[in-house]
Amino acid sequence: MSLYLKTKDYFNTQEEFDLLYNNEFDMLSTHPIPKNLDTYYNSEDYVSHSDQKKNIIDKIYQLVKKYSLKKKVGLLNKYTKDSYKLLDIGAGTGEFLLTAKSKGWETTGIEPNELARNNAALKGINLKSDISKIENNTYDAITLWHVLEHLPNLEEQTKKITSLLKKNGTLIIAVPNYKSYDAKKYGPYWAAYDVPRHLHHFSKNSISKIFQKHSMEIIDIKPMLFDSYYVSLLSEKYKNNSNRYFNAFITGLTSNLKAMSSGEYSSLIYVLKKVKN
């Protein structure tokens, strides 16, 4: 692997990390991976583990999340028929599961972070801490919303996750796209690198090749249009730009407009199914 760029944990510790390019999978890997990785999540400011609205960025995140939840369940329903058993991996504080349950889904959630599990429990959602005891061929749909990039032991984890799907099951994965315009513009300041919490950084080729090994194929790709604005706003914050809101809006808009022809949106949703023999 070769050095792609150097970046920092701008969110928390300011430690430096390398992003190494993996030519075989057309993806980037964070190096080194800290042994105490869990401690890098120990902040109430980490928005996927909290429902707090401390500042304007948190408020924007929570507002967009409400809209996105309905869209996500709609996507689930589009690709799932007759049986509705769902596993959400990296369930955070449980809002997606609540929304899916209200639409008739039988839900299970996995969330390793104790703070997030506690927040979910306040809403009556009991989340499991890991997938080790779940039986194979159990679920009609499995979702990972901005979670795959966090998982250590990627090969082992993807093998386990795909084994949990029923024969005609659907796997839906949302991840940042390091080939987007906003990623290239912000370089080491691009907030979606989020090192070292994000261990892997994917392209379309990455997702296709990783899951081909588990007899799965991409049947649809959808953009996450709001991500370019939100990520650009965080990136502007990391650069300490005073005109961050205007700059973020322009960059987010430009990224989406360019992606209309290139397909390289800031974040992408992949819908995968098992290959039919």
Q: What is the pLDDT of residues 85-127, one digit of tens each?
A: 999 999 999 999 999 999 999 999 999 988 889 999 999 999 9
- Does this model's pTM top 0.75? My answer is yes
Please tell me whether residue 56 adopts helix, strand or coil conformation: helix
For residues 236 and 133, give the distance between their C-alpha atoms in angstroms, rounded to a whole number: 42
Q: What is the pLDDT of residues 23-56, one digit of tens each?
A: 999 999 999 999 999 889 877 666 554 555 567 7
For strands 267-274 and 216-223, give the pairing. antiparallel
Q: What is the pLDDT of residue 115?
A: 86
In angstroms, the CA 265 to CA 227 distance is 9
Contact in structure between 220 and 271 (CB atoms under 8 Å): yes
Structure tokens at 15: 């430690």
Per-residue pLDDT averaged across 236-262, rounded?
A: 97
For residue 217, what are the CA distances in angstroms to 21, 31, 51, 77, 254?
Answer: 23, 29, 34, 19, 30
Secondary structure percentages of the chain, helix, strand, coil, to 5: 40, 25, 35
Mean pLDDT (the chain) is: 93
Average pLDDT over residues 213-234: 96
Give pLDDT tens digits for 6-32: 999 999 999 999 999 999 999 999 999
Instruction: Determine the 3-state secondary structure of 101 from DSSP.
Output: helix
pLDDT tens, 111-169? 998 888 999 999 999 999 999 889 999 999 999 999 999 999 999 999 999 999 999 99
- Number of residues assigned to the chain: 277
- How far is Cα 107 from Cα 43, in angstroms, rounded to an integer? 27
Instruction: Give tens-digit pLDDT for 178-198.
Output: 999 999 999 999 999 999 999
81: number of Cβ within 10 Å:
10
Identify the H or E element spanning 196: none
- pLDDT the model gives residue 48: 54
Torsional class of 149: left (φ above 0), alpha (ψ -120 to 50), beta (otherwise) = alpha
**Which domains does the chain show, CATH number per domain?**
53-186+193-274 (3.40.50.150)
In this prediction, residue 49 carries a pLDDT of 46
CA angle 45, 200, 36 (to 5 degrees): 55
CA nearest to 88, candidates 49, 34, 146: 146
